[in-house]
């Protein structure tokens, strides 16, 4: 059974919330653009726990990791407020092309891209919205293989924290930094994506949401949700000379600063 066809791993569940580990390749919800698809995280979680669920946020189809749902409308409203006001923090792991700086922030406005529910034929509006991403380089590798125009090819393992919540923000910001995420067919570079497919049997977007911190909508207590790195992603890292868990991991502090 493929990872996308298996029951979803439940990371956390109580009377108000349920968080699952969404695999890469699974849509979060039904979309106009993918009418042929029949499996969505929203429906799978609903059927798996036997009750209605409310989507708290979204992950791109290619992204794996923490996906959160509310179990009633009041909690859904509270989570919406937390996301809107920046109380929720998320941390991602990514593999990117090149060697970015050790750490920094990408402060680059992004044009608004429509949600699939409101799709009307246009890719995006012209108005740019503020967008901010914090990044930290965890590890690097230089492979003695000419993939592009250079005699060797460089890649980096990155920790990414979106401080705003724009659509496809991390993928678009890493492209803006000239270090696109490997496996990104829209914002990445095809020659490097094909190299990973052919030499590492990696056919996914190398982006995963590993941690989310928020305030529990019922008690107000800090809540940290964590997902393990998906097996296909984890298996790739030692082939690049990287260990996981990484020695330089640092946990997020729930509610201590802005998040997306």
- Per residue, what are the HEC states of 94-121? EEEECCCCCEEEEECCEEEECCHHHCCC
In percent, the amount of the chain with pLDDT more than 90 equals 76
Q: Give every CB contact of residue 240 below 8 A, 6+ residues apart in sequence.
A: 95, 141, 155, 157
Return the SS3 of 3: helix
Q: What is the pLDDT of residues 193-214, one digit of tens each?
A: 999 999 999 999 999 999 999 9
3: tokens are 């990872």
Say how many CA atoms lie within 13 Å of 172 toward its Cβ: 20
Q: What CATH number does the domain located at 3-238 have? A: 3.30.2350.10
DSSP 51: S
Examine residue 125 and say whether the peptide bond preceding it is cis (omega within 30 degrees of 0): no
End-to-end CA distance of the chain: 34
The pLDDT confidence band at residue 38, using thresholds 50, 70 and 90, is low
**Cβ atoms within 10 Å, residue 38:** 9
Mean predicted lDDT score pLDDT of the chain: 88
Give the model's pLDDT for residue 37.
Answer: 60
Rounded CA separation 105/61 (Å)? 25
Name the active-site residue from 9, 14, 47, 60: 60
Return d(Cα 48, Cα 5) in angstroms, integer: 13
Report the 10 Å Cβ neighbour count for 157: 23
pLDDT at 253 over 80: no
pTM exceeding 0.95: no
Look at residue 257 and tell me whether its pLDDT is greater than 60: no
In the residue annotation, 60 being an active-site residue is answered as yes
Domain segments of the chain as ranges: 3-238
pLDDT-derived band of residue 39, with 50, 70 and 90 as boundaries? Answer: confident
**Which tens digits make up the pLDDT trace of 150-191?**
899 999 999 999 999 889 999 999 999 999 999 999 999 999
């Amino acid at each position: 059974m493929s990872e996308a066809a298996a029951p979803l791993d439940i990371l956390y569940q109580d009377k108000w919330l349920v968080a699952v580990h969404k695999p890469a390749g699974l849509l979060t919800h039904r979309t106009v653009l993918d009418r042929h698809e029949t499996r969505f995280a929203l429906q799978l979680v609903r059927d798996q726990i036997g009750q209605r669920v409310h989507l708290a946020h979204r992950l791109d189809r290619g992204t794996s990791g923490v996906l959160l749902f509310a179990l009633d409308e009041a909690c859904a409203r509270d989570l919406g407020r937390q996301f809107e006001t920046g109380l929720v923090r998320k941390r991602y792991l990514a593999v990117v092309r090149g060697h970015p700086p050790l750490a920094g922030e990408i402060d680059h406005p992004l044009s608004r891209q429509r949600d699939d529910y409101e799709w009307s034929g246009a890719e995006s509006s012209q108005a740019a919205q503020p967008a901010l991403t914090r990044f930290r380089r965890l590890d690097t590798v230089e492979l003695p293989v000419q993939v592009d125009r250079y005699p060797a090819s460089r890649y980096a393992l990155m920790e990414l924290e979106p401080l705003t919540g724009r659509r496809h923000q991390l993928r678009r910001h890493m492209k803006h930094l000239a270090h696109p995420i490997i496996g990104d067919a829209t914002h990445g570079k095809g020659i490097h994506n094909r190299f990973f497919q052919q030499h590492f049997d990696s056919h996914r977007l190398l982006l995963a949401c590993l941690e989310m911190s928020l305030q529990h909508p019922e008690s107000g207590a800090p809540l940290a949700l964590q997902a393990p790195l998906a097996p296909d992603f984890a298996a790739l890292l030692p082939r690049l000379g990287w260990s996981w868990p990484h020695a330089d991991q640092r946990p997020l502090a729930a509610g201590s600063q802005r998040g997306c």
